[in-house]
Amino acid sequence: MTESLGLRAAEFASRGLTGYDAWYAALARELGALWLTFDGRAHADIAGEGVSWYLADALPPGLA
């Protein structure tokens, strides 16, 4: 847990993610990774951020 991770999680929570999902998204951003999720609503809430991937559509490139 770092201050920057907490601030990022709070930012994602303010955009509609649950606290639990906000932590995953914040960690993905911090690590330069993708949060893989089947939660379409959560993905839609932050789709423009480039930190989540909606698995119901397909696997991310390179994992198929």
Q: Quick one: pLDDT at residue 1?
A: 87
Q: Given this model, what pLDDT does residue 52 score?
A: 97
pTM of the model: 0.89
Q: pLDDT tens-digit profile of 19-58?
A: 999 999 999 999 999 999 999 999 999 999 999 999 999 9
The alpha carbon dihedral of 14, 16, 21, 25 has a sign of negative
Closest CA to 23 of 48, 47, 51, 44: 51
Terminal Cα distance for the chain, rounded: 32
**Residues 16/45, Cβ–Cβ less than 8 Å:** yes
